[in-house]
Chains A and B, each alone.
Chain A
Amino acid sequence: MRVCRPSHVFWGIVDAETIVCDARNGELFTLNATAGLLWNFCDGRSAESLVTHLTATFPDHDTKILAADVASFVESMRDRGLLKADGER
């Protein structure tokens, strides 16, 4: 699955934190450091490539755990409507 950001969100770095705004309701979300890192790659790449990027950043961590983290991040963001699968409306 490829993930990308829907058109109703905009984001930026504020005081070293990634802030995402859902323009549908004006709600702001502050991402933690790992989620902020992943967010940068959510431009239509596959979830597998997110794992690859995370593994490169944290080479000492177990790949299975990192893959689970990525899955959890993607699911959580999709539930909130802040990410979508490529082609999804």
Chain B
Amino acid sequence: MAVMINDLISRAVVPSRLALICRGGRTVGYNPDRNIWHRLDDDVAEVLRWLRAGRESKGLGAHLVRRFSIEDGNRRLEEILQWAILHRLLFLDFEPRPPSPHAHQAALASVYWICTQACNLRCTYCYQEATVARKQELSTAEGLDLVDQTAEVGASTLVFTGGEPFSRRDLLEIARYSKSTGLQTNVITNGHYITQRRIDDVAKTFDRVTVSLDSGVAKHHDRMRGQGSWEKAARAIDLLLKAGVDVDVNSVLTRSGMHDVGELLAFIRDRKIGAHRIVAQSPMGRGGDHRTDELRPGELLELDDRLYELGQELGGKSNMKESFAEAARTTKGSVRDHCGAGLSEVSVDPEGWVYPCKLLQYDQDRTGNVREKRLSEILTSHPVLQRIRQPFTGSLQPCSTCIIKNRCGGGCRGIHASFTGSWEIAEPLLCAQLRRTFELRAFASTGSVPPRQAARFIRLDGSPAPLSDSAPSRTFIPLEQVRRP
């Protein structure tokens, strides 16, 4: 090949924010501006590290010979440079402009209608603080009109949520109408009202049913959601699957739920579930009154590692290796700068007020009411929506300087807001978790995940402390920085 090494090395441009992510002695190279990553051989990592540091490239071939016992250092360097250019971890002559963000190309896709405040359960972490129906909830006629308004704005999906949507006696009537207009019609439910008697109607009406199930062990699920609720949720899942309905499962993970999350994954593995979404409990709604049920910071940071390990042990569909790897692959190369709140989705509360997202129902996030204005008018003109649609990652801190900003798009702003009071203010712990999640997924999508070397910390008094110990009164410093006598 006539592309000469001296030419390549003099023209190689290192992406301005190239990251080398190390885990268990292995390295992934990550080009954040393009959201592209690749597992690196040791000598490739060394070359990128060298060039990133701006060191004199003249002696690099000789360095490879010394460090890796390579016979022809320049030949290997040429191969490495070509490999890195083809994999977009280096460029020739200049760094191209990054691709356009993915989220901002998307039109409104989903409307979540919180169709009632009523619920038969009193889950300890309910974001909606559901109890009984509000006095001024949308009527059947207004619900049917909301379907029309949803279709008018070009959304593809209407999701009925609550509360418990099946608490509304007219749910099936409105949902059937929704389906007849061509909208993808989904429902999120605790499953209690999905019985043998109703299953045919439910199966005919909904395209996808999401059932909430927090544990694979009945008594642990019931402790958060109410006596007997696990059995009814599990029965609903099995009835739906038998009827041929697409079923997703949402799981809220509490501190006690960490102990039996393996049983939950096994439950999913044994059934033909579509998506299984696991979120840690946050201080939303009633969750704010049960902060002691939240995962500890260390547990939250380790959550994905734990799920991955359990998935490996369980195998089958719950194999988290595959799901983590797949989730990473499908978004590789596309750039996100937004979570979608107010952009690809909005929510409508039981009384018709429109919010950017069902998890952002604070006073300051309220826009117009579908009783007074058409949804199309609210979407195009309301300043709250116009503001939240701006790219998060260019304006919010710490997004603007974060290494994974083009990947996470700012994360779920509803969860951030539950900790900080505003979607504009990030909770650093969630950001740290997102970075750990990316690390795991990047490795999972490029081969096996090396075991993580536990960070070694000691307290200032010299006693050892585990990473998960996060009592706020204690200060930890990295062991390596302690000067020994």
Contacts and interface: CB of A to CB of B under 8 A. Distances in A.
Interface of A: 7-12, 14-15, 19, 21, 23, 25-26, 28
Contacts of B430: none
A25 B93 contact: yes
B160 interface: no
Nearest to B38: A14
Contacts of B2: 7-8
A22 to B, nearest CB: 9
Interface in B83-123: 83, 85-88, 91-94
B94 A8 contact: no
A23 B8 CA distance: 8
A10 B94 contact: no
Most buried by B among A8, A14, A21, A26: A26
Contact of A28 (B8, B86, B94): B86
A interface, by DSSP: helix, strand, loop or mixed?
A: strand
Contacts of B91: 26
Given A10-B82, A15-B332, A23 B87 contact: no
Interface of B: 1-3, 7-8, 11, 82-83, 85-88, 91-94, 332
A14 B85 contact: no
A7 B332 contact: no
A26 B86 contact: no
Contact of B86 (A7, A10, A25): A10
B271 to A, nearest CB: 31
Contacts of A8: 2-3
A18 to B, nearest CB: 10
B93 A10 contact: no
B332 A10 contact: no
Contacts of B88: 28
7 contacts: A9-B3, A21-B92, A23-B7, A25-B93, A26-B93, A28-B85, A28-B86
A7 B1 contact: yes
A7 B1 CA distance: 6
A62 to B, nearest CB: 34
B3 A7 contact: yes
Given A7-B3, A9-B3, A28-B88, 20 more contacts: A7-B1, A7-B2, A10-B3, A10-B82, A10-B86, A12-B83, A12-B86, A12-B87, A21-B82, A21-B85, A21-B86, A21-B92, A23-B3, A23-B7, A23-B92, A26-B11, A26-B85, A26-B92, A26-B93, A28-B85
Contact of A12 (B3, B7, B82): B82
A25 B94 CA distance: 9
Contacts of A25: 92-93
